[in-house]
């Protein structure tokens, strides 16, 4: 039986990844600084550890005999635009420490395959209508925020361990990911969850506030597609960074309207000042397509599965 360590298993994407690995027959150890907020982890073992500490990375990786077959590193100090712009020092320090220690000790304990979760935040801002950018075009680098710079550093460090130490490294650059059991309030939630919450809280004909002018364009990938992409990439021969994202792009206002339609509500959008991030995105998926991955969920389908879960959380916490 293959053994996998999943870092960040108390969080959104890694929480779903643990479920996927269990279904695929793995023995799984999850590790996170906190337990999962919304469900009991199906991991065979769950360790609550602060992975900024080198000693804790060693403990997370320790097995009685041998090494983990696969390590999935998704732990990060992470949030939506509000968090990314207000917590630059925390992101640069905390996520870098986690990645420095985890990459090094994964190699030291003899882990043969290591996955790192990067982000399309490594790319520069784009103009509306610009042609697709490929993975190589992240360099020369000019990310819009410190979160992107930290990811670039961690990517390069992991690649150095691949080149110089022989640990096989797989790196995904995720586009925005959404779905049930993701953070939906508290300041770290991302746009799809925040908009679902605002619409769930609004009455019929209500007004919701949207940061910026509503024209910023993004692609949104449903969680099941993302987890499938991680799994396929990890087991592929693809070296270097690989974009994973749904090829459907939408403006923030379009996203809000899709969510309102799923909620069956008429809403009015009021644009207010707030951190927006880049203007536009458009990335090539040809590398991940080359191993047979394709997103299966359109934005409408993914929202139809996500909105009811957030609406239920809103109802429960209000009641």
Q: Interface with ligand NAD includes 92 (CB under 6 A)?
A: no
DSSP designation for 137: G
Q: Interface with ligand NAD includes 46 (CB under 6 A)?
A: no
Q: Interface with ligand NAD includes 10 (CB under 6 A)?
A: yes
In the complex, what is the shortest distance from the CB of residue 205 to ligand NAD, in angstroms, rounded to a whole number? 31
Judged by CB under 6 A, which of 177, 200, 230, 233 binds ligand NAD?
177
Tokens representing 311?
Answer: 């609406």
Cα separation, 170 vs 227, in Å, equals: 14
Question: Is-contact 167 161, C-beta < 8 A?
Answer: yes
Q: Which residues lie below 8 Å from residue 120, measured CB to CB, with a gap of 6+?
A: 173, 174, 175, 243, 245, 281, 283
In the complex, what is the shortest distance from the CB of residue 266 to ligand NAD, in angstroms, rounded to a whole number? 28
Cα separation, 83 vs 261, in Å, equals: 28
CA gyration radius, the chain:
19
Task: Provide the strand spans (E) within 108-254.
Answer: 113-119, 168-174, 176-178, 207-211, 217-222, 241-244, 249-251
Q: Interface with ligand NAD includes 94 (CB under 6 A)?
A: yes
Q: Interface with ligand NAD includes 174 (CB under 6 A)?
A: yes
Q: Interface with ligand NAD includes 117 (CB under 6 A)?
A: yes
| Window 133-162: residues binding ligand NAD (CB under 6 A) | none
Residue 114 DSSP SS3: strand
178 catalytic? Reply is: no
Size of interface with ligand NAD, in residues (CB under 6 A): 26
Q: Which of 123, 147, 222, 249 is catalytic?
A: 147
Q: Interface with ligand NAD includes 195 (CB under 6 A)?
A: no
Judged by CB under 6 A, which of 4, 11, 149, 194 binds ligand NAD?
11
Q: Which residues here bind ligand NAD, judged by CB under 6 A?
A: 8, 10-14, 32-34, 50-52, 74-78, 94, 98, 117, 119, 174, 176-177, 183, 190
């Amino acid at each position: 039986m293959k053994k996998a360590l999943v870092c960040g298993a108390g969080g959104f994407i890694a929480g779903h990844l643990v479920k996927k690995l269990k279904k695929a027959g793995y023995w799984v150890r999850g590790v996170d600084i906190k337990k999962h907020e919304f469900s009991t982890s199906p991991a065979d073992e769950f360790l609550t550890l602060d992975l900024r500490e080198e000693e804790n990375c060693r403990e997370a990786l320790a097995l009685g005999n041998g090494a983990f077959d696969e390590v999935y590193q998704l732990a990060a100090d992470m949030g939506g635009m509000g968090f990314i712009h207000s917590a630059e020092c925390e992101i640069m320090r905390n996520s870098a420490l986690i990645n420095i220690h985890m990459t090094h000790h994964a190699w030291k304990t003899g882990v043969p395959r290591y996955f790192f979760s990067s982000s399309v935040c490594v790319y520069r801002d784009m103009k509306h209508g610009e042609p697709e950018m490929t993975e190589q075009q992240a360099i020369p680098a000019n990310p819009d925020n410190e979160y992107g710079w930290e990811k670039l550093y961690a990517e390069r460090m992991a690649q150095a361990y691949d080149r110089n130490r022989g640990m096989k490294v797989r790196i995904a650059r995720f586009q925005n990911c959404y779905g049930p059991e993701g953070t939906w309030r508290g300041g770290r939630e991302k746009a799809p969850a925040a908009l679902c919450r605002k619409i769930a809280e609004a009455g019929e004909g209500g007004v919701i506030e949207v940061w910026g002018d509503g024209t910023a364009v993004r692609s949104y990938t449903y969680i099941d597609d993302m987890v499938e992409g991680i799994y396929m990439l990890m087991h592929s021969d693809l070296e270097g960074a690989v974009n994973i994202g749904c090829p459907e792009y939408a403006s923030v206002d379009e996203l809000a309207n899709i969510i309102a339609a799923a909620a069956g509500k008429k809403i009015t959008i009021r644009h207010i000042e707030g951190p927006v991030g880049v203007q536009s995105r458009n990335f090539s998926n040809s590398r991940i397509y080359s191993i047979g991955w394709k997103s299966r969920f359109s934005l409408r389908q993914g929202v139809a599965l996500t909105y009811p879960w957030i609406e239920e959380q809103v109802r429960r916490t209000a009641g």
